[in-house]
Amino acid sequence: MTNRVLIAEDEHRIASFVSKGLRSNGFIPTCVADGQSALEVALSGEVDLLILDIGLPDLDGFTVLRRLRGAGSRLPVVVLTARDGVRDTVAVLEGGADDYMSKPFRFEELLARVRLRLRPERAATAEPTVLRSGDLALDLRTRRAHVGDRVVDLTAREFVLAETFLRHPGQVLAREQLLSAVWGYDYDPGSNIVDVYIGYLRRKLGAARITTVRGMGYRLEG
């Protein structure tokens, strides 16, 4: 069954970024920009999960969450918040949220959390801890990379870029896909940052590891 996700976010840029990403991964997204609309749609029974921004107009996210749970709804809720303090995190979870993410965030991580809340048993058992392609391995727990028996030091951004390739084996990934997956909704479409980081990975993982597919993007070779 295709899952229906409600995105309650008043920043159009973020809502559009999340909506496009979900749609490309087989979800049916619906966007609202205020708390009252979020509450009404969430209570309608027509969505399977709510991505809820805390800083909404009309009703803030805390109020939406409180009223949703007060009405007896068990709809899974993933909260987006610009606040990352311990007290705010506790308040979000104690208020009835199933999960939360601090802004700015990577779409790949948000997608993983959405899938986890929609299919908890399947996602918990299916999520690998080590991604492999040929002699390249990424350990997602230790955040270490190995080429054969050699440990390769990657920066946080290099690791995420390599992880994105390994999660899409054999696929050609466009620069725009890599920008949104690794740099999130703050990326500049005209930036050459992807090309720069591809160069970094080639130097560290092997020049032939990532090939350029002219006019289309990049592909990780096994």
* DSSP assignment of 44-110: TT--SEEEEESS-SSS-HHHHHHHHHHTT----EEEEES--SHHHHHHHHHTT-SEEEESS--HHHH
Phi-psi region of 29 (alpha: psi -120 to 50; beta: other; left: phi over 0): beta
In the chain, count H helices and then E strands.
9, 11
Are residue 111 and residue 151 in the same domain, yes or no? no
* Per-residue model confidence as pLDDT tens for the chain (222 residues): 458 999 999 999 999 999 998 988 889 999 999 999 999 999 999 999 999 999 999 999 999 999 999 999 999 999 998 866 556 667 777 888 888 888 888 888 899 889 888 875 444 444 567 899 999 999 887 888 999 999 999 988 898 899 889 988 889 999 888 887 787 766 676 788 999 999 999 999 999 999 999 999 999 997
The last residue of a domain, from among 62, 92, 124: 124
Are residue 51 and residue 112 in the same domain, yes or no? yes
The CATH number for 137's domain is 1.10.10.10
Please state, in angstroms and rounded to a whole number, the distance separating the CA atoms of residues 131 and 58.
44
DSSP at 209: S
Are residue 47 and residue 109 in the same domain, yes or no? yes
The CATH number for 78's domain is 3.40.50.2300
Expressed as residue numbers, the domain containing 78 is 4-124
pTM of the complete model beyond 0.85: no
CB 22, CB 50: distance < 8 Å: no
Number of structural domains found in the chain: 2
Residue 141 phi/psi, 5° resolution? -80, -45
